[in-house]
Amino acid sequence: MKGKILDFSIQDNTGVILGDNGLRYPFTGQQWKEQINPVRGTPVDFEVSADQQAIAIYIDAPVPAQPSSLNKTAHESISTSSVLSQQILKGLEQATDNHYHTAILNCFKKFADFKGRSVRSEFWYFQLFCVLLSIFLHFISQNLASLAMLIVMLPNLAVSVRRMHDIGRSGWWVCIVAVPIVGVFLFLFWAIQDSDAETNAYGLPTQFTTE
């Protein structure tokens, strides 16, 4: 039977329920099956004993409404879109990781190669690698960080020369960084330029490759 609590006394551990049929049913705290204390106005579901006492009393929680077919379809569409978005992001992350690793490998494999061309992303990925390596080793040992920078100096110079070749400039333009401030900014400006789309004096346009 359904109803609601009219009154409950903690001191006496007794209360009264008003049933949906309009009748009142007394009850004791022993028949209250919930963890919280009975509160006036709480809807309840209960049974009635032979002596008209309320027993086996539970809070009458409303059953949640089932979503309509339209809402269900919308929910499924949102879920599908979320899954697809996660897959796309994962794919982009994997592609970025592959390009990053390929760039580092290329620069070390061509550590003394001052010919040919290097695309913009290869150059900047290697610069990022050098910066992160320096910061990481700096916290371990200053001497170790200095040694690492000496090791990457030659491949860094080589990829810088190839980057100049990629935009159609002589590799000697790398020397412009010796000019304080202005030279560095000018070299960085050139380093962010798009590759020559056509074959230039230094070779064919290049892509990421592990060969």
CA distance 77 to 133: 44
Query: pLDDT tens digit string along 123-181?
Result: 999 999 999 999 999 898 889 889 989 999 999 999 999 999 999 999 999 999 999 98
The pLDDT score that the predictor gives to residue 106 is 87
The model's pTM: 0.51
Domain 2-59: CATH superfamily is Nucleic acid-binding proteins (2.40.50.140)
Phi, psi of 28 (to 5 degrees): -110, 160
Q: What is the pLDDT of residue 89?
A: 45
> How confident is the model over 82-100, as pLDDT tens digits?
554 455 445 444 545 567 7
Cα 191 from Cα 119, distance rounded (Å): 9
Q: Are 102 and 210 in contact (CB under 8 A)?
A: yes
Looking at 12-21, 57-66, 197-206, which range is the least confident one? Answer: 57-66
Confidence of residue 13 (pLDDT cuts 50, 70, 90): confident
Q: Among 4-13, 110-119, 160-169, 199-208, where is mean pLDDT lowest? A: 199-208
pLDDT confidence tier of residue 63, bands split at 50, 70 and 90: low
The two structure tokens encoding residue 82: 């979320």
Q: Are 60 and 2 in contact (CB under 8 A)?
A: yes
Q: Given this model, what pLDDT does residue 85 score?
A: 46
Domain ranges of the chain: 2-59, 82-191
